Amino acid sequence: MNEHASQALTNLSSLTFNGHSKVGDEIPKAIAKSSFKQLKSLILNNNRGITSEEISLLVSSEVVTNLTRLHLSGCEISGEGVKAIANSTKLTQLTSLNLNGTRINEHYCKVLSNSSVISKMKYFSVSRNHLGPVGAKHLFDSQYLSNVTTLDISENDGGGEMIQSFSSCSNLPNLMNLDAHENNVRALGVEYLCKSSHRFPKLKKLIIGLNKFVKQGALELIRSFPHLTILNVYLHPGYCTCTHSDITELKKIAETSIIKQVYLDVLNGGEEEFSVFFTGL
């Protein structure tokens, strides 16, 4: 390798290596032994060969000292991998962490929630982890989430209890974007969320579709979060009986709010489909 190439690699600030299942386990090992001392962004999504062992090696290396973004969506690092991240003394600058589908459980949610590693985070995603209400509550109770502006808790198993815990959370004062779609949220969960709107004055984007509430829940959300810029509601096909008049009512309510963009997708018994997008005042 010539001097210029070596210098370029030494100054590398961003590295993306997605979806290489056959060699995935070797990637973190190679990075940990590299000279990438200026690395700030590391994206290793969908490398199923990456396990807790490789992540432990990576996050204990000097390479991650300046890392601000670590995305491991779809990697099977399990709870032990999350524990290694939480206990790392090198990850002191992290502002973006993606743990989608990494097979963590409630115990390791608690470990992570007690770690100062997440204290600077602005983006935090734990989607597709089958998290129940207990694991979610551990995260929401963390004293280290005050800087988070984007939170993705979608496609978990927390249901209304998860939303209840979120709604009573006082540790997310800067939250601007929330994705909570497909969480088995019913009418009571929507009620909790609507009553807590004052807790999230900076919230601008709310994605809460594919849950198990019907038209009334959508109406309550529109009325309770008038300060939103974007509201995305996809009413669950198995629970929605919306008619054209219902859609008209939803649209009328939204247009009189200050929400700029509202997305309403409605399936009616598998026979009729309404896909509505409109811009408010």
| CATH code, domain carrying 154 | 3.80.10.10
pLDDT at 260: 66
Q: How many domains does the chain have?
A: 1
Instruction: Examine residue 34 and state whether it is found in any structural domain, yes or no.
Output: yes
Residue 62 lies in a domain: yes
Average pLDDT, the chain: 85
DSSP letters of 77-134?
-HHHHHHHHHH-SS--S--EEE-TTS---HHHHHHHHT-GGGTT-SEEE--SS---HH
Q: Is-contact 249 221, C-beta < 8 A?
A: no
275 belongs to a structural domain:
no
At residue 63, does pLDDT exceed 60? Answer: yes
126 within some domain: yes
Tell me the C-alpha distance between 25 and 167, whole Å: 39
pLDDT digits (tens, 9 = 90+) for 212-258: 877 788 888 888 888 888 888 776 666 655 666 776 777 777 777 66
Give the count of alpha carbons within 13 A of 88, CB side only: 30
Inside any domain, residue 252: no
Instruction: Indicate the pairing of strand 261-268 with strand 272-279.
Output: antiparallel
CA–CA separation, 238 and 234 (whole Å)? 12
pLDDT band at 139 (very low <50, low <70, confident <90, very high): very high
Residue pair 174/148 in contact by the 8 Å Cβ criterion:
yes
Whether 126 shows a pLDDT value over 50: the answer reads yes
Least confident of 135-139, 192-196, 212-216: 212-216
Question: CA torsion sign, 245 to 246 to 251 to 254?
Answer: positive
Q: What is the pLDDT, as a whole number, of residue 27?
A: 87
249 in any annotated domain: no
> Mean of the pLDDT values across residues 101-118?
94
Q: State the residue range of the domain holding 185.
A: 3-203
Residue 185 belongs to some domain of the structure: yes
Q: How confident is the model at residue 22 (pLDDT cuts 50, 70, 90)?
A: low
Beta bridge partner(s), residue 122: none
What average pLDDT does range 86-93 have in this prediction? 98
The C-alpha atoms of residue 232 and residue 91 are separated, in whole angstroms, by 34
Q: Report yes or no on 71 lying in a domain.
A: yes
The residue among 220 and 98 whose pLDDT is bigger is 98
- Give ∠ CA 274-233-99 in degrees, rounded to 5: 130
